[in-house]
Amino acid sequence: MKITINEHDDNKRETVSIDTGHIAAKRKLKIAGTILLIAGAVACIVGFINIISSTRNGEFPNLFFLLMIGFPLLAIGLSLLMFGFRREFTKYVKDEVMPLVEVDARRLSRAVREGGETKKCECGEVNDPVSKFCKNCGKPLSKKCPDCGNDNDPTAQYCSNCGRRF
Ligand SMILES: [Zn+2]
Ligand SMILES: [Zn+2]
């Protein structure tokens, strides 16, 4: 059970720097998205009013092109905003969900560091490498060779030390 303080600090620092980058990028996206959205909306409205008034007056809508520009601007602005909020969602996942996953990964890597792999039982339970019996179902987690005394995987067909068949 060794988690050094240095390692923990490093992890924290890394998380903070990533978050700052996310917030900055998110803000840029939201500003750009809002500007495009407003510009697109204004262009659309002006173009639309122009078409209506021109039709009423029997003229050619000379500002019709504003609609052609306005709609793509609206679409781009919307998608930028959506992307900005998606980053917010990603941040939520990172802050709320990832720590839970991280704890599990840390426990696993600690087990690996302490001595080889974890011991997985037939029932699916992952046990500490030092465990002799499954903490879930109580089955033995190793098969002791009657000839040489070597601890083998419970599913082993032959002893990995002397080759005795079980
Ligand atoms: Zn089990
Ligand atoms: Zn053996």
Distance, CA 143 to ligand 1 centroid (Å)? 14
pLDDT for res 40: 92
pLDDT for res 4: 45
* Full residue range of the structural domain in which residue 10 is found: 5-116
Q: Count of residues for the chain?
A: 166
pLDDT for res 82: 83
Distance, CA 124 to ligand 2 centroid (Å)? 26
User: Alpha carbon of 49 to those of 38, 64, 68, 108, 151: distances in Å?
Assistant: 16, 9, 14, 64, 84
Please give the model's pTM, rounded to 2 decimal places: 0.39
Residue 75 shares a structural domain with residue 148: no
pLDDT digits (tens, 9 = 90+) for 63-99: 888 888 888 999 999 888 887 777 667 777 778 777 7
Overall domain count for the chain: 2
Residue 29 shares a structural domain with residue 10: yes
pLDDT for res 117: 64
Calpha distance 85→146 (Å, rounded): 62
pLDDT for res 161: 93
Residue 111 shares a structural domain with residue 165: no
Residue 91 shares a structural domain with residue 45: yes
Residue 104 shares a structural domain with residue 150: no
Q: Which of 80, 99, 116 delimits the end of a domain? A: 116
DSSP-derived secondary structure letter, 97: I
Residue 10 shares a structural domain with residue 79: yes
Ligand nearest to the CA of 131: 1
Residue 103 shares a structural domain with residue 24: yes
CA dihedral 13, 17, 18, 22 (to 10 degrees): 150
Calpha distance 116→135 (Å, rounded): 19
pLDDT for res 104: 73
Low-confidence ranges of the chain (pLDDT < 70): 1-22, 87-88, 107-117
Residue 25 shares a structural domain with residue 97: yes
Distance, CA 134 to ligand 1 centroid (Å)? 5
pLDDT for res 87: 65
Ligand nearest to the CA of 139: 1
CB-based contacts of 61-69 (< 8 A; 24+ apart in sequence) = 67/43, 69/40, 69/43
Distance, CA 122 to ligand 1 centroid (Å)? 6
pLDDT for res 6: 46
pLDDT for res 56: 85
Residue 132 shares a structural domain with residue 51: no
Residue 71 shares a structural domain with residue 14: yes
pLDDT for res 114: 52
Residue 26 shares a structural domain with residue 68: yes
Residue 104 shares a structural domain with residue 128: no
Q: Can you list the positions of beta strands (E) in 4-133?
A: 119-120, 126-127
Ligand nearest to the CA of 154: 1
Ligand nearest to the CA of 158: 2
